[in-house]
Amino acid sequence: MAQSRILTVGTFFSEFVTNRRVTPMTGKLFGTTGVRKVYSEEFDLEMALNLGKALGTYVGSGSVVIARDARTTGLMIADTVTAGILSTGVNVIRAGIIPTPTLAFITMKHGFDAGVMITASHNPPQYTGLKFWSRNSMGFTAKEETKLEEIYNKKNFKVANWDELGKESRFEDSVEEHIEALLKRCDADAIRSKTFRVIVDPGNGAACVLTPYLMQRLNCHVVTINGQLDGHFPGRRSEPDEESLGDLIQMIKQTGADLGIAHDGDSDRVIFVTEQGEVIKGDRTIALLAQQAMLASKRGTVVTTVDSSLVLDETVRRAGGNIIRTPVGDIQVAIKVAESNGVIGGEACGVYIFPEAHLAPEPFLAVCRVLELMARTEKTFGELIATIPQYPIIRSKLECPNDKKESVMKSISETLPSKMRNVKEVLTVDGLGITMEQGWILVRPSGTEPIIRITCEGQTREAVEEILRTSEEVVRATIASA
């Protein structure tokens, strides 16, 4: 067996990347997933302290595990949140810099009363935030977040006496425990026998401490780029996509590697790149893995968000299963996976949920499953993914004054579905999502600009253009009369 190795190429290929504001900013503390704000402009240490106090009050007793990604503000905020929790008499276990899924995994495995991740996910480096996890490995639901926010707003915090304060301890082996659990959930020997050549791009984020070592344990030849933890994200933008993964694509082409693996800042996402250097959207990879998961039973439920490709529905249906769509956000997917006893869940941005492991995003098991499939079929990832077609998606935006957005969205939620043919489902949480036989539409107001964005997919160019034309007409007329 060839010996595995890890090389760090560092940020040699780094390029200047313009930071973008990607999270809608409102007065509300919690967004789509937890709290995410710009440090010092929208979030300060007093808020961190009070969020710690609020969580300790909410939990009441027991222990909370706290971890962080590599952001420059992470240690300071983790210390402050810790102080807030300890002041309520609740213990704090510090797990250091680890991926979000590792935090969710140990919260569940060790039965901690809650988990807190200090992270702003894939947002630019000036952002910070907190994601909260339950003992059942799921992120806090909207109901749980509302309760926490109520305690935070009322400042009705539990105050422990000097001799009843929480105790702080450390958790050193979380990554090792997580890797051991992952190795048990895949055919590690099949993967090891192939000595795959992989290039890992953690984007200077939390996956630096896990993915290269997982690959090593699977006897892969590993080259890591942007492989050192750095909260400035010097190597690339933290969100892994075709635009930000130029260095990874280039390295795969130059070295002839078998697979590229890229993560976001807190590593709850993974994006795969084929041996040809093609960046594959998450929904196509979910389709591939869902097909495999249903191979034996010929049935099962797959959960995804409104913006996933129709190809996922078709693949799942052909494999004998059914699909459920939810509003965007991994928590929404996790809730439906649990309710429907689903086989797999995920989002096109690179989120994978494997309920047999836990209910948090699990990008590392997705990596294992992709390598396992390559090993078993003796096919390249490019050959495997070529069996999952791609449909045209088009995006458009219409100007709409910020103060009209709410009434426009309300009005089109009532009128647009009736203008479409073969409507299967209408979702009005976080924008308007319409799923039809022939495609889908997602209409969402921008959180930062006076525009409304429309995204459509259809099986053919003509179908998608017709869907967009009708959607634009309705939205434009509604804006004009608002």
Cβ–Cβ < 8 Å for 171, 106? yes
The candidate with the shortest Cα–Cα distance to 65, out of 74, 73, 57, 55, is: 55
* Least distance from Mg ion to the Cβ atom of residue 271, Å: 12
Report the amino acid identity of residue 473: E
Q: Which residues are catalytic?
A: 121
The candidate with the shortest Cα–Cα distance to 122, out of 249, 250, 17, 213, is: 17
Distance CA 264, CA 334 (A): 19
* Least distance from Mg ion to the Cβ atom of residue 475, Å: 30
Q: How far lies 51's CA from each of 77, 90, 264, in Å?
A: 10, 13, 25
User: φ and ψ at 224, to 5 degrees?
Assistant: -115, 130
* Least distance from Mg ion to the Cβ atom of residue 432, Å: 25
Stretch that binds Mg ion, among 68-76, 259-267, 376-384, 419-427 (CB under 5 A): 259-267
- Interface residues for Mg ion in 88-107 (CB under 5 A)? none
Helices marked H in 305-424: 310-318, 330-340, 363-377, 381-385, 405-415
* Least distance from Mg ion to the Cβ atom of residue 228, Å: 19
121 or 204, CB closer to Mg ion? 121
Residue whose pair of structure tokens reads 């099962």 in the numeric block: 300
Out of 82, 88, 121, 291, name the contact with Mg ion by CB under 5 A: 121
123 or 134, CB closer to Mg ion? 123
Stretch that binds Mg ion, among 26-34, 237-245, 267-275, 372-380 (CB under 5 A): 267-275
230 or 258, CB closer to Mg ion? 230
266 forms part of the interface with Mg ion (CB under 5 A): yes
266 or 307, CB closer to Mg ion? 266
23 or 80, CB closer to Mg ion? 23
Does the CA dihedral 297-299-304-307 come out positive or negative?
positive
Cβ–Cβ < 8 Å for 366, 214? no
CB burial of residue 393 (10 Å; 0-12, 13-18, 19+): middle
* Least distance from Mg ion to the Cβ atom of residue 264, Å: 4
* Least distance from Mg ion to the Cβ atom of residue 235, Å: 16
Q: How many residues interact with Mg ion (rule CB under 5 A)?
A: 4
Distance CA 389, CA 405 (A): 35
Stretch that binds Mg ion, among 89-97, 172-180, 266-274, 312-320 (CB under 5 A): 266-274
Stretch that binds Mg ion, among 114-122, 155-163, 338-346, 396-404 (CB under 5 A): 114-122
Q: Residue 423's beta-bridge partner residues?
A: 436
264 forms part of the interface with Mg ion (CB under 5 A): yes
Listed in sequence order, the residues at least 6 apart from 473 whose beta carbon sits closer than 8 Å to its beta carbon are none
The candidate with the shortest Cα–Cα distance to 430, out of 342, 319, 308, 305, is: 305
121 or 309, CB closer to Mg ion? 121
430 forms part of the interface with Mg ion (CB under 5 A): no
84 or 282, CB closer to Mg ion? 282
The candidate with the shortest Cα–Cα distance to 283, out of 238, 234, 376, 346, is: 346
Stretch that binds Mg ion, among 105-113, 130-138, 265-273, 460-468 (CB under 5 A): 265-273
239 forms part of the interface with Mg ion (CB under 5 A): no
268 forms part of the interface with Mg ion (CB under 5 A): yes
Residue nearest to Mg ion (CB): 121
* Least distance from Mg ion to the Cβ atom of residue 381, Å: 22
What residues line the site for Mg ion (CB under 5 A)?
Answer: 121, 264, 266, 268
